[in-house]
Amino acid sequence: MATDKQNAKNLPLAGLRVIDLGQVYQGPYATFLMAKAGAEVIKVESPEGESARSRAEINEGAMLPFEMLNANKKGITLNLKTSRGRELFMQLVSDADVVLENFAPGVMDRLGIGWEVLRQVNPRLIYATATGYGISGRDRDGLAMDLTIQAVSGIMSVTGMPDGPPMKAGPAIADFLGGTHLYAGVMTALVERARTGHGRLVEVAMQETVFPTLASILGMFHGKDPSMSLRTGNRHSGLAIAPYNVYRSLDGYVAIICVKENHWRALANLMERPDLIDDPKFATNASRVCNMDETDALIEAWTSQQSMADLFEKTKSHKVPSAPVRTISEVLNDPHMHERGMLEWVDHPRLGRVVLPNSPLRFDETDKLETRFAPTLSEHTEEILNRLCGVSNAELMELKERGVV
Amino acid sequence: MATDKQNAKNLPLAGLRVIDLGQVYQGPYATFLMAKAGAEVIKVESPEGESARSRAEINEGAMLPFEMLNANKKGITLNLKTSRGRELFMQLVSDADVVLENFAPGVMDRLGIGWEVLRQVNPRLIYATATGYGISGRDRDGLAMDLTIQAVSGIMSVTGMPDGPPMKAGPAIADFLGGTHLYAGVMTALVERARTGHGRLVEVAMQETVFPTLASILGMFHGKDPSMSLRTGNRHSGLAIAPYNVYRSLDGYVAIICVKENHWRALANLMERPDLIDDPKFATNASRVCNMDETDALIEAWTSQQSMADLFEKTKSHKVPSAPVRTISEVLNDPHMHERGMLEWVDHPRLGRVVLPNSPLRFDETDKLETRFAPTLSEHTEEILNRLCGVSNAELMELKERGVV
């Protein structure tokens, strides 16, 4: 138990130790990427467990996000509201490389274990903090969830149909853009530390990580009449490319986009409408944009008579950029992602047979890290507190009784 | 010209040199984060310039994404289809830390400057490659744009109204999740290199970077009847929380979400409907979920009589998680993001007065990096080829004539 064999020595973060106070998605995704890259991630929860665990109350399946994001981590409990809990935490921090948290701003300071305290204990420490709006500024204390960040950051105002209400993106993009940036920030600070020997406070605000995704829309905003609608359904954000849409088929929907003229010529031939290529109404992207409704109608007249399978095969062989709109079930069974090892079927003791993802970060010539299920609550408390803090079994019993772990 | 004064010495990536072949969004966003963290990023374009520049043909404003993502980089041209161009490229690579590209798979190998070649020249090199589907597997050569990745990855099938068609997320989330992961992968490999001394091939596929954002939806998929619709408009992906929606006000829309019962109690009091708190139809989240339409109707009956400003102030003071659905214009003028320095008004020589973003990665106690506009085409060719490859002015003239630069 004293060694950590999972960390194959040739994984990029082998030897790195992370104290993970992350909750729900943003923090845990950052430390998920660390664990999968070979770091020893010690997830620290209150004795009640982090809130994402309680989703099992809805149903077992709702635990899946927790299982996804906490794979290959170790789990301990520590009550940071007790002085002995904080003492043990400080002991862990003194020999760690990274502490990461996504509490509301100020929580760690109020507990007396904020950055200014921890850096004294460990000057090489990277302290990473993630919030919705940041740890400074007038909106710092705004209550931030993925939904509210999607609202304030402009995502909703540019998603959905032009004649419909603003619409959220279905997936939790603010949480995960936040989490990826958080991981990125920690790695950057580690690169710096290798040069300077010093730790750093790293900060990420979800609101800020979302902004760059608006790039195309910002271009259109500055370039066109600013009063024009920037909510364009499945059409191009600037209504500047045609065809660019999602079209109905016999048994589903397909996205088609013609970025270059040869894409359009290939599509026209595929549709058995070579006449369109020289038709002044459709001969250039500019003319197709002027006749966008008609262009889309022509394509849908064709796609609506085809099966998804036929459409996919035909557009692929003719090199027309296209993709089926896949259901979640199709995504989970995607042969390509399974072949590449991004997705894996596992038999989980509680969830049954489910798909778990690996890390999207791929490093050539590394050993494969075996997936280890997320820790049950407090699973590794004994091992970690014994190995890293010298807590005896007798003391552990006492700590449990006192509610410290 | 021989020194690079922009790289304030205390920025985390000071001293790092990056050869950037990135195009459009995914690659350039990764190197944007590097440039803003203090690296010397040398953007290498073909003599025609990368495709994102040609958007100026639509209108000047459409250049904004290029300007956003290439700020603080240097720009040179090199024709990699000429042997002299490749020779100069190899010279740059021999002394660089990172080479990054997001061409289609195999392009660099066909040019004779793929990873296997470059690693011989520079064993410490990090080579980063980003694609839509990855550099292996059956779908490797699929044509990938943000739209098609949103289709195949499941994003579209869970975005939009339950009775409407699948819908894309308006922002380019696949490009930017891809770009952020790409940056993250490079930093990870640099952390490893500090320990091992060896470079690494780092790979990122947009399709894979998008998958984790489905976490909540995957939980619902596994937990509930798999035939249920996973497209829930602005409601919770699992229809398991209420209130959770976007509501109409007198002058816009507002997102409101009650994660805890005290949020709901505060909202009911704010609506001057304290009777709802004990009403069996609304007393618990479970009962509100069963009466979701009615719950939403009650809230919208209230919000629709309020102005956005009033709603924001009231929900904030009562600690109800809430946010206005902001327009792009409001986002660009957000006082909080300007106060924090994430957004800056600049007077751009071509675009006029526009907002440019800084990096969402924040490192405490670093000097502020002055924004330097994206390079004009070939702006730094002379400086860089002279300083790093010893090319004389006379030879540069000749290279220009021969179409090498």
Contact predicate A136/A126, CB 8 Å = no
* Domain limits, chain B: 17-212+335-401, 253-324
Res. A3: pLDDT tops 60? no
**The pair of three-digit structure tokens given for residue B320, joined into one six-digit string:** 């109800």
Q: Residue range A61-90: average pLDDT?
A: 96
> Rounded CA gap, A51 and A66, in Å?
10
> Rounded CA gap, B49 and A345, in Å?
45
Q: What digits encode the pLDDT tens for the residues B196-238?
A: 999 999 999 999 999 999 999 998 888 766 667 789 999 998 8
Q: Read off the pLDDT band of B3 (50, 70, 90).
A: very low
Q: Hey, is the C-beta of B374 within 8 angstroms of any chain A C-beta?
A: no
Q: Residue range A357-385: average pLDDT?
A: 96
**The pair of three-digit structure tokens given for residue B139, joined into one six-digit string:** 């779908």
**The pair of three-digit structure tokens given for residue A341, joined into one six-digit string:** 């090892």
Which of B149, B184, B208 lies closest to A180 in CB terms? B184
Indicate yes or no: CB of A361 within 8 angstroms of CB of B188: yes
Q: Hey, is the C-beta of B348 within 8 angstroms of any chain A C-beta?
A: no
Residues 251-310 of B with CB under 8 A from A: 253-255, 257, 259
Of A330, A346, A340, A263, nearest in space to A299 by CA:
A263
Beta-bridged to residue A127, according to DSSP, are A99, A201
The confidence score (pLDDT) of residue B221 equals 86
Q: Which residues on chain B are in Cβ contact (under 8 Å) with A208?
A: 337, 340, 342, 357, 360
> Rounded CA gap, B350 and B87, in Å?
34
Q: Hey, is the C-beta of A203 within 8 angstroms of any chain B C-beta?
A: yes
Q: Which of B64, B126, B147 has the highest number of chain A CBs within 10 A, making it the mutation to test binding with A? A: B147
Could you confirm whether A175 is annotated as catalytic? yes
Indicate yes or no: CB of B213 within 8 angstroms of CB of A172: yes
Q: Residue range B248-272: average pLDDT?
A: 96
Res. A301: pLDDT tops 50? yes
Indicate yes or no: CB of A202 within 8 angstroms of CB of B63: no
Question: Residues near B289 by Cβ (< 8 Å), separated by ≥ 6?
Answer: B239, B240, B241, B242
Q: Hey, is the C-beta of B217 within 8 angstroms of any chain A C-beta?
A: yes
Closest residue, chain B, to A255 (C-alpha): B148
**The pair of three-digit structure tokens given for residue B243, joined into one six-digit string:** 């209130």
Q: What digits encode the pLDDT tens for the residues A35-48?
A: 999 999 999 999 99
Q: Read off the pLDDT band of A1 (50, 70, 90).
A: very low
Q: How far is B392 from chain A (nearest CA, A)?
A: 34
Contact predicate A167/A156, CB 8 Å = yes
**The pair of three-digit structure tokens given for residue A291, joined into one six-digit string:** 């006749």
| The domain defined by B253-324 carries CATH number 3.40.47.10 | no
The confidence score (pLDDT) of residue B226 equals 64
The confidence score (pLDDT) of residue B228 equals 72
Q: Which residues on chain A are in Cβ contact (under 8 Å) with B331?
A: 152-154, 211, 214
Q: Hey, is the C-beta of A233 within 8 angstroms of any chain B C-beta?
A: yes
Angle between helices B83-94 and B381-389 (to 10 degrees): 70
Indicate yes or no: CB of B213 within 8 angstroms of CB of A175: yes
The confidence score (pLDDT) of residue B187 equals 98
Q: Hey, is the C-beta of A232 within 8 angstroms of any chain B C-beta?
A: yes
Residue A114 CB neighbours (<10 A): 17
> Rounded CA gap, B2 and B272, in Å?
69
Q: What digits encode the pLDDT tens for the residues B64-85?
A: 999 999 999 999 999 999 999 9
Indicate yes or no: CB of A209 within 8 angstroms of CB of B330: no
Res. A221: pLDDT tops 90? no
Res. A139: pLDDT tops 60? yes
Q: Residue range A347-352: average pLDDT?
A: 92
Q: Read off the pLDDT band of A57 (50, 70, 90).
A: low
Which of A148, A238, A323 lies closest to B148 in CB terms? A323
Which of A143, A331, A339 lies closest to B138 in CB terms? A339
Q: What digits encode the pLDDT tens for the residues A177-209?
A: 999 999 999 999 999 999 999 999 999 999 999
Q: Catalytic pick from A163, A175, A279, A293?
A: A175
Q: Read off the pLDDT band of A112 (50, 70, 90).
A: very high
**The pair of three-digit structure tokens given for residue A296, joined into one six-digit string:** 């889309």
Contact predicate A274/A298, CB 8 Å = no
Closest residue, chain B, to A338 (C-alpha): B137
The mean predicted confidence, pLDDT, of chain B is 94
Q: Which residue has the tokens 């710096």?
A: A192
Q: How far is A9 from chain B (nearest CA, A)?
A: 11
Q: Which residue has the tokens 């862990």?
A: A92
Q: Which helix (H) or strand (E) holds A254?
A: strand A253-257
Q: Which of B118, B152, B300 has the highest number of chain A CBs within 10 A, making it the mutation to test binding with A? A: B152
Pick the CATH number of A17-212+344-401 from 3.40.50.10540, 2.60.40.10, 3.90.870.30, 2.40.50.140: 3.40.50.10540
Q: Which residue did the predictor score with more confidence, A58 or B14?
A: B14
Q: How far is A233 from chain B (nearest CA, A)?
A: 7
Q: How many CB pairs under 8 A join A and B?
A: 499
| CATH top class, domain B17-212+335-401 | alpha beta
Q: Catalytic pick from B20, B97, B146, B175?
A: B175
The confidence score (pLDDT) of residue B375 equals 97
Taking the CA atoms of residue A358, residue A364, residue A366 and residue A369 in that order, the dihedral angle to the nearest 10 degrees is 10
Please give the DSSP secondary-structure letter assigned to residue A62: G
The secondary structure of chain B in percent helix, strand, coil, rounded to multiples of 5, reads: 45, 15, 45
Which of B29, B210, B328 lies closest to A157 in CB terms? B328
Q: Read off the pLDDT band of A52 (50, 70, 90).
A: confident
Res. B2: pLDDT tops 50? no
Q: How far is A220 from chain B (nearest CA, A)?
A: 6
Please give the DSSP secondary-structure letter assigned to residue A242: S
- Indicate the CATH number for domain A228-329: 3.30.1540.10
Q: Residue range A100-122: average pLDDT?
A: 97
Residue B392 CB neighbours (<10 A): 10
Q: Which of B328, B348, B369 has the highest number of chain A CBs within 10 A, making it the mutation to test binding with A? A: B328
> If you write DSSP's letter for every residue of B274-342 in order, what string do you get?
THHHH-TTTSSHHHHHHTHHHHHHHHHHHHTTS-HHHHHHHHHHTT--EEE---HHHHHT-HHHHHTTS
Indicate yes or no: CB of B157 within 8 angstroms of CB of A328: yes
Indicate yes or no: CB of A329 within 8 angstroms of CB of B221: yes
Q: Residue range B295-302: average pLDDT?
A: 98
> Rounded CA gap, A323 and A313, in Å?
10
> Rounded CA gap, A236 and A230, in Å?
10
Lowest mean pLDDT among A2-11, A151-160, B39-48: A2-11
A27 burial level (CB within 10 Å; 0-12, 13-18, 19+): buried
Q: Which residues on chain B are in Cβ contact (under 8 Å) with A138?
A: 335-336, 339
Q: Which residue did the predictor score with more confidence, A5 or B128?
A: B128
The confidence score (pLDDT) of residue B7 equals 47
Q: Hey, is the C-beta of A312 within 8 angstroms of any chain B C-beta?
A: no
Contact predicate B45/B77, CB 8 Å = yes
Q: What digits encode the pLDDT tens for the residues B153-163?
A: 999 999 999 99
> Rounded CA gap, B174 and B176, in Å?
6
Contacts 24+ apart (CB under 8 A), B310-318: B311/B249, B311/B254, B312/B254, B314/B270, B315/B254, B315/B256, B315/B267, B315/B270, B316/A142, B318/B266, B318/B267, B318/B269, B318/B270
Res. A7: pLDDT tops 60? no
Residues 67-106 of A with CB under 8 A from B: 68-69
Q: Which of B7, B180, B322 has the highest number of chain A CBs within 10 A, making it the mutation to test binding with A? A: B180
Q: Which residues on chain B are in Cβ contact (under 8 Å) with A123?
A: none
Contact predicate B17/B40, CB 8 Å = yes
Q: Residue range A264-274: average pLDDT?
A: 97
Q: What digits encode the pLDDT tens for the residues B225-236?
A: 666 778 999 999
